[in-house]
Structure 1
Amino acid sequence: MPPETPTADAPPKPAWARGALYRGLVALPLVAGLATAGWLVAGRDQPAPVPTQAALTAPAPTQTPVSGPSVLQASAPVQAQEPAQGAAGGGGGPAPLQKWADSLAGPLDIPAPALLGYANGELTMRKERPDCHLSWVTLAGLGVAGNNHGRGPGEPMGLSAQQWKKYGAQIAGIAHPALSDPSAASVAAGRALCASGVDLSAGNGWWKAVAGYQNGSGMELFRQRVLGYAQLYATLSLDPAKANAPSVHATRFALGQLGLPYVWGGNGPDAGAAGFDCSGLTKASYDSAGVSLPRTADSQFRSVPPVPGGQEPQLGDLVFYGSPATRIHHVGLYLGNGLMINAPTEGQAIQIHTFHRPGDDYAGAGHPAN
């Protein structure tokens, strides 16, 4: 992407509600664009597909950006902290699983009953389908993408009526399963994911299962949100003390922009644009965490402490593309497990991509804040 257009004044703090409004307004054109240019999932050694005729004949922007990475390789979330098991302690204290859910609910920003339900979903599927290797973080990703862990509109876990009827009617240990019960809904969702016989611990199996879980015009954004938040929850479960770090706040903000369009020079809905360009997204993400960054990819590269060569970036680090000696043309926000949150180029939405592949012009990473 070419040099982004800096603004004279720093944009105001972004508003989550306004971003959601813009996502609703641009949903249809995004779906059309994503079908031809974005949400690409490739095998480890597969090149990116040749653009379709629709993409080749689409009107070109006034200034054509130099795109950054634009392929998502099949990926499963990293291993998370396992749910605790065992009977309640002496004196009638809470069972270990309840204590586990209570301890992680705050750092993960997931209501404890919902988190307990996701854990019960994993534990049930360990018995019913041990070969599936379902993790609670995948169920938590479905939970936030479905109706924000019961705090928003929509069906719990994104389950359809047909899925609930098929997979939720009978659940051991629950006399009267109800879709409103996080444990029952999680078991039904786990059964739906594992029905195709895939191994969810492997990237190709995980993507196949989640890809088949929900159909419809919003399925691509749904899948991206499941992957992004499952990865975040897995990382935070292993180090919950970092939940309030600026890097985590920035990552949460960036995940909240998934589905918005790339906009040349865009600083986001709160600044009057439908979306962001690459450095507009990273700047707004860290603005939301109280950390000020310069406006362009090149200036961000030259202002943040570098991640030492050979070390993997950490959650919230900035990943850069271009030539350190001359010009950095692109930046994204590292999510973990080889993934980045990316505003790639004209015609694509903000989405998750693989951050580094052989032959690209990856220039290194920077660490804005802990």
Structure 2
Amino acid sequence: MHRVQGGGGARRRWLFVVGTVMVLALITSCSSRLDKDDDQAERQVPSMQLKEWSQLHSGPYGIPERALRSYAYAAAAMDKALPACGIGWSTLAAIGDVSSSNATADGAVVESDGVARPYLRGLDQANPAGAKPVPDTDAGRFDGSEVVDRTMGPMQMMPSRWEQFATDADDDGKADPDNMDDATLSAARLLCAAGGDLRQPDGWARAVGQFNSTPGFVERVHERASVFGR
């Protein structure tokens, strides 16, 4: 009798182990497929071609990989489209760092779709206390405010500037100020239009000053760009 009971207990334990292994295998298989689907979706984004470079340099520069990838891609895209501008990734990284801590301000994270969430609006580091409010120009279409214009996204662009230079950099059919790739390439276009040749000190300063005219912004960006450009 004891042998029969023991055998039944062993069989139950065996069935439990087998069942557990099957469940774990199913979960692992599903997770693997999901990971592959995520990777495949991400590879459709043009900036993915610079992922290895950004992974290699993210740590040394202290910039999140996803943000660094966007900066490098935007600079490369502008070099191809408008080589006379000469914009470098270090300038874009410096603006992103000063403006939104590379899309990490207020606990934001750049998610798998490239969008920084929670949405970044009117950050103090880009618009210090005492800055004169700008009357609304977009009826809240981009920044969500129908009273004043608020800077938006990882690069903290104003709605009026976004409307001029908005660019769909990730080829998803829309330009999104909260998308890391879109915001960075749009900012690069603005800078090139404002400064001309950014390899010249006066052109660089003019571009960054027009991007954000807040007192001290150009100096802070220059300091960070100098660090990243080493």
Q: 1:174 to 1:129 in 2, by over 3 A?
A: farther
Alignment match, 1:180: 178
Q: Name the SS for the 1:180 alignment partner.
A: coil
Task: Name the residue aligned to 1:144.
Answer: 97
Aligned with residue 106 of structure 1, among 59, 63, 87: 59
Q: Please list, as runs of the form range in 1=range in 2, the aligned pairs for 1:50-129 lying within 5 A after superposition.
A: 97-129=50-82
Q: State the match for 1:204 in structure 2.
A: 202
Secondary structure at the residue paired with 1:220?
Answer: coil
Distance of 2:195 and 2:225 partners within structure 1: 21
Q: What SS does structure 1 have at the residue aligned with 2:194?
A: coil
Q: 1:19-64 CA deviation, whole Å, 9 max, x = no partner?
A: xxxxxxxxxxxxxxxxxxxxxxxxxxxxxxxxxxxxxxxxxxxxxx
**Paired AA for residue 222 in structure 1:** F
Give the residue type in structure 2 aligned to 1:130.
P
Aligned to 1:292: none
- Displacement of 1:173 in angstroms is 3.2
Consecutive unaligned residues of structure 1, counting only runs of 5 or more, are: 1-91, 236-370
Alignment RMSD (CA, Å): 2.2
Matched residue type, 2:83 = P
Q: Could you tell me how far apart the structure 2 residues matched to 1:123 and 1:175 are?
A: 21
8 Å contact 1:193–1:209 — kept in the other structure?
yes
- The runs of 4+ residues in structure 1 deviating greater than 3 Å are 169-174
Question: d(CA) in 1 for partners of 2:217 and 2:161?
Answer: 16
Other-structure match for 1:225: 220
1:131 aligns with 2:88: no
Letter in 2 for 1:183: D
> Following TM superposition, by how much is the alpha carbon of 1:172 offset from its aligned partner in structure 2, in angstroms?
7.3
Per the TM alignment, residue 96 of structure 1 is displaced from its structure 2 partner at its CA by: 5.5
What secondary structure sits across from 1:178 in the alignment? Answer: coil
Long gaps (5+) in structure 2: 1-42, 107-122, 124-151
Percent identity of paired positions between Structure 1 and Structure 2: 28
Q: Name which one, 1 or 2, has greater alpha-carbon Rg.
A: 2
The whole-number CA distance in structure 1 between the counterparts of 2:201 and 2:174 is 35
Q: Which amino acid aligns with 2:86?
A: H
The answer on 1:234 being equivalent to 2:229 is yes
Asked if 1 retains the 8 angstrom alpha-carbon contact of 2:74 and 2:184, the reply is yes
| Deviation for aligned residue 1:202 | 1.2
- 1:196 is displaced (CA, Å) by 3.0
- Structure 2 counterpart of 1:187, one-letter code: L
Q: Is the 8 A contact 1:137 1:230 kept in 2?
A: yes
**Which has the larger strand fraction?**
1
State whether residues 67 and 102 of structure 2, in contact with CA within 8 Å, keep that contact through their aligned partners in structure 1.
Answer: yes
The number of residue pairs the alignment matches comes to: 140
Say which structure, 1 or 2, has more relative contact order (CA 8 Å, 6+ apart). Answer: 1
